[in-house]
Amino acid sequence: MGVTDKLHRVFMVDRQIRGLKSRLRAAERFLSEQDKQIAQLEANLASLKSQLRQVSASSANSEGEVQQFEGHIEELRERMNNATSNKEYKALLAEVNTFKDKKSEAESQAVAQLETVDKLKEQIGQIEAALAERGKVRTVAVTDRDTRSDEIKDKLAELETKRTELVADVPGHVLGVYDELVEVREEEAMAPIEIADRKRHEYHCGSCMMSLPVETMSALLSHGELTRCVSCGCILYLEESTRETMTSKR
């Protein structure tokens, strides 16, 4: 058995392994997406709660200022009632008006801050609800991931054992070339030679469909040595039906 045939056996096992893992990878990607969304929601929730604490503290300060200004105004009014001159009365009145303006400003701030508090609480409630729903979806995603993992576990172990046995029969430098191609091309690391016109000795690569020289077919037929497509670089192999066609007397 030539080196290409040995490598092709590894390729076919790898294809089965990828097929088994494809559904598992899809389930893992879905779970990963849920985790990302949950992390983003939690970050937004933490930010909103921080804002709520700050605005609530500012609102409490504004309400405290309103009470302080109210206390100053009441005190000044008592002093106005006991004023002994018109000049003193007017001075106290001016001070009362100043505190009234400050009180009005603090009240406006307090109202605006309370409105902001209400909006933040509403947003927090929405995110908490979204987190609860996303948590349910994540639970389903975990179950699906675990189920698919259990379904392929035995078959995957069997194939990986078989692959280890097959790989041991492939020269190291050939396996190195193959592994590099699989990393880049995956399913198209290897491709069959296809017959375009046997009489005219026309063949092409089953991956890129570019024409191949006759020597490529001859090398595989006679020696089974490692042969790569001159156009796309994939490793070429002969399917049994193609080999039979090329070696038949007709």
pLDDT one-digit tens code per residue, 80-126: 888 888 888 888 888 888 888 888 888 888 888 889 999 999 999 99
pLDDT one-digit tens code per residue, 137-169 = 999 999 999 999 998 999 999 999 999 999 998
Mean per-residue pLDDT, 224-231: 82
Q: Encoding tokens for residue 16?
A: 């089965």
Contact assessment for residue 235 and residue 7, using Cβ atoms and an 8 Å cutoff: yes
Contact assessment for residue 20 and residue 148, using Cβ atoms and an 8 Å cutoff: no
Supply the mean pLDDT for the chain: 88
pTM over 0.85: no
Percentage above 90 pLDDT, the chain: 39
> Strands, E, within 127-213: which ranges?
190-197, 202-205, 211-212
250 has pLDDT over 60: no
- Locate tokens 């024409």: which residue? 211
Mean per-residue pLDDT, 13-42: 92
| Range with the largest mean pLDDT of 77-86, 185-194, 220-229, 240-249 | 185-194
- At 83 the pLDDT is 80
Q: What structural domains does the chain harbor?
A: 3-167 (1.10.287.1490), 172-247 (no CATH)
Count of CB atoms situated within 10 Å of the CB of 110: 19
- The angle at the Cα of 235, spanning 233 to 241, to the nearest 5 degrees, equals 130
Lowest mean pLDDT among 20-34, 64-78, 133-147, 233-247: 233-247
203 has pLDDT over 90: no
- By C-alpha distance, which of 239, 227, 219 is closest to 181? 227
